[in-house]
Chain A
């Protein structure tokens, strides 16, 4: 009798544990509703949705260990770490993105006049002016911003539908971009879109032959309502140290002037040259969409540090053309030759495409 009572009690406990353990898997297995929306229409909805207001919580996880010097760790961490972001979005020039850390946070508050960057642990508030060219920052990694950017230059032939899945509690329709350029190192980009608002909810970037995405950014929570202006606005607290961000435009112009005077070709590795606002004339940008290649002539004295960083990677390939290495779908190459300028080649292209580009550079070894 006592044994039976004991068994019954333990059975009740085991049942409770089984129900609790199974619950998350059951919820996760709930199917998403697919809708018959053509890829071109869905892509158009994403591009039209730039002004949609929303607030939410997003996570981006990257597996790209970029070979960079100490100066760019913040930008490199964005692509190699897990970044948790809270976002309040009223529009492209009025939003707030907080990078949440266990013991602090860094908030970027954008207003029409520029940005305030608040760093809790350092106690600093930094004012920056809008720049046409800047290092990658957390707002660039939001699924909404990244998805729109990656879809903006894709052609209709490159975009197909890819089913549906649940993201942040919503049914999201899949769009798959497979770049047409043979030089591209990106196998595909999957963008999961909320069909009603056109807001990308998740973006996954896959390198060639990769089962796991090199970059995965998605919303965990999302509220499709315009957030109040006072949450987005920022006034430096009285005890904060107020700083001014370095003048990016000035720095870029100066770097452009100091760059060796070379004339870059109109095409590299089969990719045509293009122009971007804010990019100095000395820098060549090639390709479109998710396949981009940048060629930058650099003075020899700056090449040493980069060579060290590149050769430190066990996967670096060094030959007569220079040193090249791939971090996931991102390729990086230092092209050096005796007596002339060195070049840095970087972009979402294969190592073979980097080598081909290196051969086409003026004055490079062939």
Chain B
């Protein structure tokens, strides 16, 4: 019993244990519910799973099921980000502990009971617990904002390498705070329509109503909510990666104000969709997204420059090849930044192209084709976020040597192969007609399957390794359970 408790303590109270648990929960959920769609449905696996597990999948409830499914995954991702924030950014121990406790209970309750409600008949007690889980996460978000309060003098910085105001307010902390606060506020835009479910609001997927000229306020709120939440998860992850890589210097000083400004304006634009500002909301969003993306670009420049400098430290005059080798030497530190760059080819670039040529090209196609672009677009963005987390996690657990390189490059190559193939798939109508598309579709979907399958196999291997490790009395987990987080060295009292 004592041994069991030690493992539970590791999984629920150490940063690495908490992250491992959340990744494992997402992996299990993805593995199980991934069997219900795509090729698995075509091969009959879906029917077998539904029958074996006694699922009740009513056709009219599909959209509701999907919404709960991806909310539960998103909550676990937000929990991982929160563990990382509380490990990397100084805050009082009370807030750190309370936030972690609330969000852990919250996402686990939301995931278990939300999925139970959605896929195994409508047990309304489960639905209540699902909402309770989401509420705990919301409350954790509120506490996190308090814990991150940047105008507490205990958190002022004087080091000239980091962006701060004249009085010493840490601008990176302001960026974390702004992102956390706007995330909590933006959650309301989803919660309010949900609260009116059945009383003027009904479930819908945003991609299904894109061309309707009239939308209700609730529909606009949900559309704004889903866009901004994903954007804020991405922005928060950028800040986390910056902290991990010790982002500093001139670029840091330029990037942090841009990130704060971009985040604030981006949110104002998205919130504006439910106000009379709706006609110009897109313009405000572009104005906000630009500085936020510039800030991310500065992080990429800083991070890659750092990698090159470190890798060529002992070479007096490194050649371009040596610099490239140094850049690519460590995929776990190169990868997160590369994925941010790659995102521009598969997400941002595609999005801008579609927006610019919307009426001339994309709205000449049937709505289902446009829907394909939209769903591909945000699936790729979500998956890129996931791969960045996985790359960081590989570093966190101390992967070394060829295992580190195999894990890192495996995730980068397989995921990028899948993302590129998805991009070709969603844009295929530009180059091929409906009548002749099948060979291309087959090839592209095979590449998607190889890419995603490769990433999932790598993830599965790591999780099996970590699971087996938990059975060892002196496993790696015992070391991780004792490791202090970076911020613990400079603890602040409440």
To the question of whether A and B form a pair in one complex, the answer is no
Which residues does B use to contact A, with CB under 8 Å? none
